[in-house]
Amino acid sequence: MELQTVTYLIVGLSFALYLGIAFWARAGSTSEFYVAGGGVNPVMNGMATAADWMSAASFISMAGLISNMGYGGAVFLMGWTGGYVLLAMLLAPYLRKFGKFTVPEFIGDRFYSKGARTIAVVCLLVASITYIIGQMTGVGVAFSRFLGVTKEMGIYIGMAIVFAYAVFGGMKGITYTQVAQYIVLILAYTVPAVFISLNLTGNPFPQLGLGSDFAGTDGALLAKLDQVVTELGFPQYTTSSRGDMLNMFSYTVSLMIGTAGLPHVIVRFFTVPKVSDARASAGWALVFIAILYTTAPAVGAMAKLNLHATVNTAVKGGGDLFAAENSIKYDERPDWMKRWEVTGLLKFDDKNGDGRIQYYNDATKNEAVKAKSDAAGWKGNELSVNADIIVLANPEIALLPNWVIALVAAGGLAAALSTAAGLLMAISSAVSHDLIKGVFNPEISEKSELFAGKVSMGVAVFVAGYLGLNPPGFAAGTVALAFGIAASSLFPAILMGIFSKRMNSAGAIAGMIAGLSATLFYVFAHTGIMFIKGTEFVELVGGKNGWFGIEPNAIGTVGAIVNFVVAYVVCKVTAPPPAHISELVESIRIPKGAGAATGH
């Protein structure tokens, strides 16, 4: 069958499945709408959390990022998994025991303040909306690349599908479609990886393959990769990192506590029946996430070596990388390169006019490499490769059948849609439950609140679609900002709410505002106020990366420290919280007596 036909078939089947689940899992009460009735099995919730968590970026871009960054890519691997340890031990069980519907509701009740709740809602909305822009553009890109429709049409189709199950099913519909989406996306990710690993190392497990010998030689794959890339003037794969150790440290912390503080992830743990289920569910979530996250570094490294081996026969043959006959002739390049050249993600430019592809780092500072490439008559790097190809073209590079390529398309879409739906849920419950019921109209009936929830969800879908169609100039890099916001505002507030009985309303509010301001101040110093070009004030923070050499993406850590310190100091000089708050904290610390989550 033609690739296009198979792709339509497999993607169409997966969409039919999601819509079928949407019809079956309609929400009839606010409890079903906000927390899926509180009766989700912990394993299922783990899968749903994994799909919720792993976005278009995790699926399509992460392996490519790691491939480009080498060792330094570990900040994403450790940051986006290590946060689950914090979530499982420090937040999830206690928030589940608290037994309400949303994160701002906890902050509002624990700090006995509508002001605190409103600040939490603002942090939640900013973090979730910046995050969702990336998902909607991801949906558009995935559709246009795989199904040959325009990016706009792709976003419309995506909106229609999400609308169907998110508006009618709420959390219940989203949870069960996410389970199905997890299965689609994990198959799509691992099947090509297994074949690549078999090809390159003879080991079917990519995690083990990455530590094995390069097939046909008696040297380790990673050693071979290090040798090839350094000879070609690139930094050594297994040691190259971005910025210094402190920057890497700070980046990892920021992603970890940001992960633990992202509301669309936290609310997933409100859907299980018991406190012990919330703990186990975090464990299951990490199992399902780890399958992808331990495969990604193998895919990244193997694809890199594979690419070098494809364009330079000396990589496998062991000859001189700079010998003229070892660079492959452009006319003899494999078919998959031809196909991806059409998309513009892969570009060849024959700078020295010899009809062969020379792929190396022409900006290297290594004089020996420069001398060798000059002597060989190389006039600059001739191949540019977009990082996203690493996952998207993987099945073609490994010469896998068409149905695997189609499966990757369905997987990319599943990853983007499931994350978008989770974010929409967090946004709409913050509006209908925290703002409408919590702040403006506490007397609202359950039926009206459910209706308000569905309307907010519908509006949120359209806002997200609009932002996906007309991405603001600052769209790139906003996902990192979402982590910075969650890390510097929500995570510290929730943590102190559980672990410190003495923390009071004034301290928590001052801490959230200070942490958030510090983070935004530093980010805006680099990117301009509200990301408007020309309003940067980087000299005020001591130049680019002026605070200890930390890049703006990694600043959430500093924001969190500011939050903790300010909260502690303000709390010391203001009155302790009332007695019923101490009792509330006592009660959330103990699992016994956890009922189903309620909104009252």
Partner 1 sequence: MNDSKGYWAATLSLLSKILVVWFLASYGAGILFAPALNTIHLGGYPLGFFFAQQGSIWVFLALIWYYTKKMGEIDRAFGVSED
| Chain positions contacting partner 1, by CB under 8 A | 66, 71, 73-74, 77-78, 81-82, 84-85, 88-90, 93, 207-208, 210-213, 220-223, 238-239, 245, 248-249, 252, 274-276, 279-280, 282-283, 286-287, 290, 293-294, 297, 586, 589-594
Q: What angle separates helix 505-527 from helix 478-485, to the nearest 10 degrees?
A: 160
- For the CB of residue 351, give the shortest distance to partner 1 in the complex, in Å: 34
- Can you read off the two tokens belonging to residue 64? 């490519």
Q: Please say which residue, 475 or 561, places its beta carbon nearer to partner 1.
A: 561
Q: How far apart are the first and last CA of the chain?
A: 56
- For the CB of residue 20, give the shortest distance to partner 1 in the complex, in Å: 33
If 0-12 CB within 10 Å is exposed, 13-18 middle and 19+ buried, where does residue 407 land?
Answer: buried
3-state secondary structure of 480: helix
* 487, 257 Cβ separation under 8 angstroms: yes
Q: Please say which residue, 237 or 360, places its beta carbon nearer to partner 1.
A: 237
Q: Please say which residue, 344 or 593, places its beta carbon nearer to partner 1.
A: 593
CA 355 to chain centre: 40
- Can you read off the two tokens belonging to residue 379? 């006039």
Q: Please say which residue, 17 or 291, places its beta carbon nearer to partner 1.
A: 291
Q: Please say which residue, 279 or 526, places its beta carbon nearer to partner 1.
A: 279
Q: How far apart are CA 367 and CA 145, in angstroms?
A: 41
Buried/exposed 381-396: b ≥16 CB within 10 Å, e otherwise: bbbebbbbbbbbbbbb
- For the CB of residue 226, give the shortest distance to partner 1 in the complex, in Å: 9
- For the CB of residue 296, give the shortest distance to partner 1 in the complex, in Å: 9
Q: Which of 252, 132, 104 is nearest to 557 (CA)?
A: 252
- For the CB of residue 398, give the shortest distance to partner 1 in the complex, in Å: 20
> CA of 51: how far to CAs of 35, 415, 554, in Å?
17, 6, 25
- Can you read off the two tokens belonging to residue 243? 């910025």
- For the CB of residue 81, give the shortest distance to partner 1 in the complex, in Å: 5
3-state secondary structure of 528: coil
**Secondary structure of 570-587 as H, E, C letters:** HHHCCCCCCHHHHHHHHH
Q: Which of 499, 487, 419 is nearest to 162 (CA)?
A: 419
Q: Please say which residue, 212 or 448, places its beta carbon nearer to partner 1.
A: 212
Q: Please say which residue, 85 or 309, places its beta carbon nearer to partner 1.
A: 85
- For the CB of residue 298, give the shortest distance to partner 1 in the complex, in Å: 9
Q: Please say which residue, 60 or 88, places its beta carbon nearer to partner 1.
A: 88
- For the CB of residue 246, give the shortest distance to partner 1 in the complex, in Å: 10
